[in-house]
A and B are shown apart, each in its own frame.
Chain A
Amino acid sequence: MQGFNLLKANIRKEYIEYKRYLPNTIAMLLTFYIIFIGMFAGIQLIGDPTMQETNIQFVIVNYIFWYLAMIVVNNIGWQITNEATQGTLEQLSMSPMGIWRIMLARLISSTIVSFLIIVVLLYLSMLTTGQWLNIDILTILPILILTLISMFGLGFIIAGLSIVLKQIQAFLQILQFILAGLTFVPLTAAPFLAYFPFVKGVDLVRAVMIDGVTWSQIRMEDFMILGFNAVFYFVIGLGFFFLCERVAMKKGLLAHY
């Protein structure tokens, strides 16, 4: 119950910040909407007409996952850097819930809020363009959840690094492109990437949305890789975060001011 209250507090904070800076939020929503529409229109103009529908879905799925990866992985790094500079990170570290639970609540809440925004804008874009993607929620949802768990692991690694390293901003900027690479490169081009965080998940979602693959058609082996990645990266991420937290507490790095 305490964990649920913690999650609620963080979702509320996220919501308040979106509401408080309404012009920013509107600008972000508009940008998103324009990018979606642009992707639909752009691919219609420059893409291969015979592959038009496939291309649209491919790019949109990749873009959504890239955005989610940035929210989960990159944002947590920025947030920690800002909080360490402001002085609030120390206050959060004194919660008996433990800073890792607060960070997990942050990761989940920002994912939920961003995901809701993405879904609404995606449907709005489909309504505007009249092109409807194959969204099989029941098949996509479990894949998405397992994929997000591995992303959270990566988020914890970045959160840990952000606590220990003061100059992480430059790395976070480069990370955006690494994340783009991981989401946009198809697994057929680099099969070894299946064991990288969230790449297998993106590939499976693409299979569902583009090829119309259903739950029963997904191979057990694919699910096992997905499950393994989720557990492996989450455990590694959390372990690394604990290690960084300990280093920070040894060296007095919880405040960067």
Chain B
Amino acid sequence: METIIEVQNLKKSYRKRKSKEYIHAVTDVSFKVNRGEIVGLLGPNGAGKTTTIKMICGLLIPDSGTITINGINNQEKRLKALRHISAVLEGNRNLYWRLTVRENLEYFAGNRGASKKEVTRQVDELLEKFRLQEKASELVNRLSRGMQQKLAIAVAMLADSDVILLDEPTLGLDVETSYEVRDLLRSIATDYNRTIIISSHDMDVIQDICERTVIINGGKIVTDDRVENLLRLFEVRAYTITLGEQLSDKQQKLLNLMFPEAEYKADTIQSTVEVDLEKSEAIYDLFDIFKQEETPVESIDRKSINFEQIFMKIVKGEMDDARVQSS
């Protein structure tokens, strides 16, 4: 597959004005993005996601490292590189609230040097694609947040660029609009063959539309893998064990001691133990606990795990353990 973005050994520090101490926002980030991919950039607050995105957009100069967009180094030939990239960085804040939907689109297209004919064609096409025709003459400050977000994405589409970067595209949207925006992003990637990089806290969005995810923590990449691989990797470690009887007090104490994060639930009919095993051999220890009182095991199921839980585990540093176990 053709690489459209290549980020190599990116570093960026800021100096605090008062204390003069350095904050290392990005310490070593390298990754590649292929043409047509939808990649999720994840990380807790302050992980370095936005700094990385802004460096890719050419809005921030890295301390060291290189970024090439479609083979163009964005520090050496910034304006040329910008022809291949567009972004929605602050959603609705990237718009002129006192202009209408159409006027915003026309102004941003004009600012890229497009002719009137080209502007009209592009704007009409985008209004239709984003189902904004009825709102074309509406002032942006009178639109709902969802509509504003759609318009911000439409503005990014004006650039006709290979890559679109979106920082928190679904932040503050209701469920329905969030799904609409997801569909829109999917269709942009497939219908227009655009590469999309999304930075988001919304794990549902990442799990739903991204093929690959790059997780950043403390300014470093902690994982770069396909979403399905991560789901599989962590799924094999999590189990729900259904027991025919309740565990005795002694067994419960032992369970708490040996598996402090295990969750034990009991009712009059059956009881369940939900446990995340870091090492596969640990299952024997668990069965030893059940054997002590001859507690019958009715079923062992792999627990379904969502992407948010995976993200939390990766950020907590459990990634390497998972890989060891998997191999």
Contacts and interface: CB of A to CB of B under 8 A. Distances in A.
Partners in one complex: yes
Interface of A: 1-3, 5-6, 8-10, 12-13, 16-17, 20, 86-88, 90-98, 102, 246, 249-252, 254-255, 257
Contacts of A87: 89-90, 93-94
A91 B110 contact: no
B90 A95 contact: no
B93 A94 contact: no
B58 A94 contact: yes
Nearest to A251: B14
A94 B116 contact: no
Given A12-B106, A12-B107, A96-B112, A88 B96 contact: yes
A182 B115 CA distance: 40
Interface string B70-100: 0000000001101101110110011111110
Contacts of A3: 113
B184 interface: no
B107 A91 contact: no
28 contacts: A1-B113, A1-B115, A5-B114, A5-B115, A5-B116, A6-B111, A8-B110, A12-B107, A12-B110, A16-B99, A16-B103, A17-B98, A87-B93, A88-B94, A88-B95, A90-B57, A90-B59, A94-B58, A94-B87, A96-B79, A96-B83, A96-B112, A97-B79, A249-B60, A250-B60, A250-B61, A252-B51, A255-B90
Contact of A8 (B14, B116, B155): B116
Interface size class of B (residues with CB under 8 A): 35 or more
A98 B85 CA distance: 14
B85 A94 contact: yes
Contacts of A254: 59
Given A91-B108, A94-B82, A252 B54 contact: yes
Contacts of A6: 110-111, 113
Interface of B: 14, 51, 54, 57-61, 79-80, 82-83, 85-87, 89-90, 93-99, 103, 106-116, 155, 159
Contacts, number: 98
B111 A9 contact: yes
Contacts of A257: 90, 93
B69 to A, nearest CB: 12
Contacts of A91: 87, 89, 94, 108, 155
A20 B86 CA distance: 29
Given A90-B90, A91-B94, A95-B111, 9 more contacts: A2-B113, A6-B110, A6-B113, A9-B106, A10-B111, A12-B107, A90-B57, A91-B108, A249-B59
Contacts of B58: 93-94, 249
Given A1-B115, A97-B113, A90 B89 contact: yes
Contacts of B83: 96
Given A5-B115, A255-B90, A96 B60 contact: no
Minimum-distance CB pairs A-B, first 4: A9-B110, A2-B113, A87-B93, A87-B90
